[in-house]
C-alpha cells in the first residue's frame, strides 16, 4: 500500500494543479486550478 501511495504521489507532484496548489498556499491566495 505504501509503495502504491508513493508512486501516485510522484505522479501527482508533476501535475500543474499540484504546483498551483503549492504556489497558492505559499502566496496565501486561492488556487486557480486548470484541471491539468
User: How high is the pLDDT of residue 36?
Assistant: 60
Kindly list the averaged pLDDT for each block of 10 residues, start to end, along the chain of length 36: 84 82 96 82
Alpha-carbon gap, residue 17 to 29, rounded angstroms: 14
pLDDT of amino acid 16: 85
Q: Where are the domains of the chain?
A: 1-36
35 Cβ contact partners less than 8 Å away, ≥ 6 residues apart: 17
Question: What is the per-residue pLDDT for 9?
Answer: 80
Nearest to 2 by CA among 29, 25, 10, 33: 10
Helix, strand, coil content of the chain in percent (nearest 5): 65, 0, 35
Q: Are 16 and 34 in contact (CB under 8 A)?
A: yes
Q: Which pLDDT value is given to residue 15?
A: 83
What pLDDT was estimated at residue 10?
77
Amino acid at each position: 500500500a505504501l509503495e502504491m501511495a508513493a508512486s501516485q504521489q510522484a505522479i501527482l507532484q508533476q501535475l500543474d494543479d499540484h504546483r498551483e496548489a503549492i504556489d497558492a498556499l505559499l502566496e496565501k491566495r486561492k488556487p486557480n486550478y486548470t484541471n491539468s
